[in-house]
Each structure stands twice: as C-alpha cells, then as structure tokens.
Structure 1
C-alpha cells in the first residue's frame, strides 16, 4: 500500500519523499493543461531543493495512450531516470505506471496489458493527485488505450504497480471543471458498486464500508460540483477515491466489474471521460441484471439511499434504488444516454463494441462479470438499452 500524505501544502514534501524512496533523477509526468503548469514549476523547485534532478514529459490525455508511454520509456531510458512522479489524475497516473514498468523492462510494455508478461520490477513511483476519481494513486492497475489497435486494456492485480507514495492535497482539485469533478465522483461511486454487488457470502463489515463510501459520494459530490472551493467536500471525495479500489473496503468480497469493461469500449470509441460513460452504463446494467438477485438490489436501495423496504414486493424497492442512481448522476450534470455524446449510433457500431470487450472463457462460455455473467449478446443489449 502507498504511503499517504494528506492535507494542505503536502506537495512541498515531494523532493524529500522521492529521496527517501531511493529516487534521484525524476521524470515529471503530467497533462500539460494550463491549471497544472504553475504546480509543475513549484514541484521542480522542491525537487531541486532536495538535491535531485528532473526531466519533464507532459501531454497525457484522458484515456491515456500507449504512444505516450512509449515516449516516456524512450525518454526515461535516455535520461537514466530512476523515479516517475505523476502529477494529475487517473490518466496521468496510469500512464506513469506504464512508464515506470517499461523503463525496467527489456520487452514491449504492452506485454503487461495483453497479459503476456508479469512485471517483476519498476522504478520508484510517486503521485501528486489533482483529481478525485479513479483511485489509481492506490490501486494495482493501469488502464491504457493502444493507439494502433484501439484496444483499451488493463494491466492489473500486480501489487508491484501500487505507487510508493501519494500526496493528496484537496486544494489541488479545486480548479477542476464541474463536469470533470462529476465524472470523477461517478467513477468512485461505480467502483463502490462493482464491489458491493458480489456473489460472495455475507461479509457484513465490507458491505457497510462500501455503503459508507457511497453515502460519502452522494453527500459530497453535489457540493464539490456546485462549490468548487469547498475543502471539506473535496477532501471527502479525495479520501474515498483510493479506498474504493485499494482492497480495504472489499475484503472478503469478489466484485463484478462488468460495467467497467463495458464502458472501456465506449471511452475508446468516443473519447469521453470514463466516469461520464459509467454514469450512462451503470443504471442500465442494473436494470438488465437486477432480477437475478432482487434481494441484493433491494438491500442496496435501502443501505445506499435509505429507501423503505417493501416486504410485499422487494422488486419495487430494487427498482427505486436504480431510479435513484440514475437521478443522482443526472443531478451532477452527467449524461444518461449514449446519444448525448455520440449522436446517432448504428447497431453495427454497438455490435463492434460488444465484440471488442475482453471476455473470459468460463465453463465453455465467453463472459464478463464476477457476479452476474454476461455474454456478448447481453453486452450488446445493454449498449442498445443505453442509447
């Protein structure tokens, strides 16, 4: 697990922390967006004050590209860097993870994303988070789009990929536009849902932790969107994001994660923020699968949204919970259908996306979903419903 440093001004410790973890020549990796550039200039000074040197690579875009990782690996090997400092949100952090793995590997870093190889070592990796969403500052995964094949794939379940340290200063998220803030909140909420809807036998504490995370997002996301400088709301989201994915909240549970795999193809096709795509897909996924476990969805409605349990007809409670999920995303200004960002979409396009999803073969069936198994025809139907 990374060492976390939370609070105002914590970014000033970056040089000291890099040195403590064994770094001396640092690659500063970021998006290059205007709001982050003053921070980057300050970080250069903190790094130099610690007696370290740096090189810089900006230009990371949402849904990070493999080509940028290749560029970073080439630069890193040329400059003999031994540390990557990611300054940004999930896209920057995932790109930095790829660079940190690739600089310590003689082969093609895509091997890790296509499950052809397992990373054995990587450079020192630090994070200064400027966005609450993916939780990549704490996760053991990196999601990247291959520019040539248009495949969006994840290198995951490698503990080695967790950053060595993560600096979380909620003030650094205050310049994020409202739509991006909302997208990040949707991503956090989806991570919590993916773990909540588990087929694992009852683990009371874990589900209560996940529910607490959901309620934290439900309360604080609207505040962060409407009051960008609300430090308490920003803090709540920034704390919840890494906890939603680092394994602490889901101990004993095996999550579903179909929504994420379904959405990955959408953000690859239309280059939308991942969280915005999840805001569309999650309610439709719920509508498609809830009848397989009505009681679990009814419980979700009660625990997350304080719905009244209808003992005569639990299905009504389950439906009310799904309705509230959709209403919450809409209240944040997020899309509720694919056409809102993609325009007219043909059935052939939806079939292409459904065919591109990375299925597993389980009991002679190509499926996704740890709890509710979905075949390609099911994924296509969810896309169709979501239009």
Structure 2
C-alpha cells in the first residue's frame, strides 16, 4: 500500500426535505451573497429552486442566479458566471443540480478571485490556492462532484475537455442530498449516473499497487451494492431506499476513499472525455462504451486484476484460466449495462462512424504520449481500444 492523504471535510446533509436547510447551511459557512447556479428547467418545474430561494430569503441571504448550464459544461458559461459574480460581489457559490452544474460552479469559484484566465488551472499553467466557498444541492447522483475537489470543463475553442483536481480548495463546504429529488429523473439519466459512479470506482480499483486489500474490498462491496440497487430502481423508480443507496454510492465512489493507498488509472475517463467533447454524448453512456473495451484490451496485457474483478464483483467461478474468467466478467458487465439501458458500442451510442484518428490525436495532445497507469497506453493502444468499442 502506498502512503496517502485522505481529506474529506464536506458536511453531508442527507435525507427527505433537507433542501429546506439550505439557508441555514450557507450562513453557517459564512455566505451572505450567493450565486445560485443551475441547469435548464427541471429545478423550476419541480419547485426546488423556489424552496431553496425561500430558505435563503428567510435568513436574509441575497442571491443572483446563473441559469442554463448544459451537460458537458463549457468555458463560456464559466466566463459568464465569473463576470456575473464579480459584478454582484458574491461570496458563495450554490449549485443546484448534478455534476455539470457543480463543476461549473467550482470553476467560477476558482476564477472569481483569480487575476488571470481560469482556464490556466485546467491546463496546469497555474494552481488555484484560493476560491470562493461552494455548497451543493444535489439532484443527480452520478459525478460525485458534491464530495470531491474535481471539476471537468470543455473549452469550446478546440473542444478540449480537461479536468482539475484540487481537493484542498474546491471540495464543497456542504452537500444537501435528498433522494426524493431523483424520483423523476429519466431512466437514461439514472442509468448514465450509475455507470459513471461505477467507472469512478473502477478507475481506482484497477491498480498495480500491492497490499490494498481493504481498499479493494471497499470498491468491490460498493460495486456489488450499486448493481443490486440499480436493478431495484429499474423495477421501481420510486423506491426510496434504493434511490438513497445509489445517491450515497455516487458520493463515496468519487470522494477519494476508494483510491486510498493505490496508484489510480483514469485512462478510460480520459478516452471518454474525447468522445463526449467531440460528439457531445452523455458522459456515463460514453463510459459504458469505453470501459468494457478498455477491460477487453487488458485481458491480453495485464489480466490479473481484471480476473479478480470478475470473480469478486460478478461472481465468476475461480479458475486457473484467468483470461477466460476475465472475459466472462466483461460479458456480465456488458449484460448489466444493457439491462439498465446503456450502450456498449459506438453505434449503440449513436456514433455510426467515429473519427478514431481525431480521437487518438486529441487524447494524446491533451494527456501526453502515454495515458493511464494500470497499463500505460500509447497511441497504438488507445487506437486499439477505440476500435474495440467500435466493433
């Protein structure tokens, strides 16, 4: 096991009607002038936005609104939010939504006090040392951004989708999590979120670091719970306990606990980022295509952990033929993804003729000549994985 630091100071307020505590929590963390960030129409239609605004008004907190954050959020909305926040002298960011909204708010929070271009943080030109505090009202369990210091933004010019990881600066002060707010999520969005959180765990699970049995077992147990609870939600979208378990799983999948003591991979996420940047597909659905292809490649290059994953997560019987065990695990993963309505090929994702040359070129321009750690992938390897996803 490697040395590690695990830092997770976010206060999670979980359960029914917890959004009514928003004003109290903002005040607790010294917010007085809030920029509310949200997406399209759902938070208006279901009354959540009004409930949150009322809780702020009752405690004397003023606010400004930034609406219409899109999935796969772009730098344009971040620039708009930075300008709006500075003009109104906000001192607190309050995203209401899922990962796209939260990531946008985090980028704004880092950008407002910074004298340069916030994109400097995403390219590595600069590191954020200060940011406005962020509090979250979560509506979509998927990205885990409510419990992490991460943000992913796409720059429209050049379609560069890059991530920022700053757990000490951008981890939210609080996250309000009411599973009832997820009842009316479309089945596609629910399934995409489930796939995303599973991928967050798997990016950490597939490691060459020895001696990580406790972390491995955490990952395996959470994955098995997600699979079980996902099937309950498919059968009954209003199953509160299943929704609650999935919402909490999305948080702990990405708050760092599943990666303690090990070297993480992240090649599949980087490869998918190029797909969603170029074709604007749902991130979780893109991962449903890329991750099985990545695992298939690994059968012939580093089969050990893939076979363990098949045995412990998908209950494939132990055998001396590790490749056969691993292949059966991938088959069961793909069957589960199909069961919850996810694609497993580019064609099923709606991309008939993916430009693999462009995907490979952009990937390595953004992430270097070798991507990932479980098996460092060069251009030939990532091309092969994209081609497997296209077969």
TM-score, reference length from structure 2: 0.95
Show the counterpart of 1:327: 335
Assess if the C-alpha contact under 8 Å between 2:302 and 2:375 holds in 1: no
- Which of 201, 204, 221 matches 1:195? 204
User: Is 1:351 the counterpart of 2:354 in the alignment?
Assistant: no
- Identify the range of structure 1 (150-159 vs 34-43) with the bigger mean alpha-carbon deviation: 34-43
SS at match of 1:95: helix
Residues 310-364 of structure 1, C-alpha deviations (whole Å, 9 max, x = no match): 13x2221111111111111111111111122334315xx2111111115655xxx
User: Is 1:10 the counterpart of 2:13 in the alignment?
Assistant: no
CA distance in 2, matches of 1:338, 1:360: 22
Show the counterpart of 1:370: 373
Assess if the C-alpha contact under 8 Å between 1:214 and 1:304 holds in 2: yes
Shift of 1:291: 2.5
Show the counterpart of 1:246: 255
CA distance in 1, matches of 2:125, 2:55: 39
Assess if the C-alpha contact under 8 Å between 1:150 and 1:268 holds in 2: yes
Assess if the C-alpha contact under 8 Å between 1:35 and 1:175 holds in 2: no
Residues 10-32 of structure 1, C-alpha deviations (whole Å, 9 max, x = no match): 11111111111111011110002
- Which of 74, 86, 110 matches 2:83? 74
Show the counterpart of 1:149: 158
- Identify the range of structure 1 (223-232 vs 180-189) with the bigger mean alpha-carbon deviation: 223-232
Show the counterpart of 2:195: 186
Shift of 1:106: 1.2
- Which of 291, 309, 330 matches 2:318? 309
Show the counterpart of 1:115: 124
Residues 53-99 of structure 1, C-alpha deviations (whole Å, 9 max, x = no match): 11111101110011001000110000000011010000000001011
CA distance in 1, matches of 2:279, 2:102: 21
Show the counterpart of 2:389: 386
Assess if the C-alpha contact under 8 Å between 2:131 and 2:169 holds in 1: yes
CA distance in 2, matches of 1:259, 1:33: 31
Change in 2 beyond 3 A, CA 1:377/1:75 = same
SS at match of 2:258: coil
SS at match of 2:241: helix
- Which of 291, 300, 321 matches 1:291? 300
CA distance in 2, matches of 1:36, 1:375: 46
CA distance in 2, matches of 1:123, 1:157: 13
CA distance in 2, matches of 1:157, 1:94: 12
Number of corresponding residues:
380
List alignment gaps of at least 5 residues for structure 2: 1-7
Residues 349-387 of structure 1, C-alpha deviations (whole Å, 9 max, x = no match): 2111111115655xxxx1001211101121112111211
CA distance in 2, matches of 1:293, 1:382: 14
Change in 2 beyond 3 A, CA 1:314/1:6 = same
Assess if the C-alpha contact under 8 Å between 1:178 and 1:226 holds in 2: no
Show the counterpart of 1:228: 237
Taking only aligned residues, the RMSD between alpha carbons, in angstroms, comes to 1.3
Shift of 1:186: 0.2
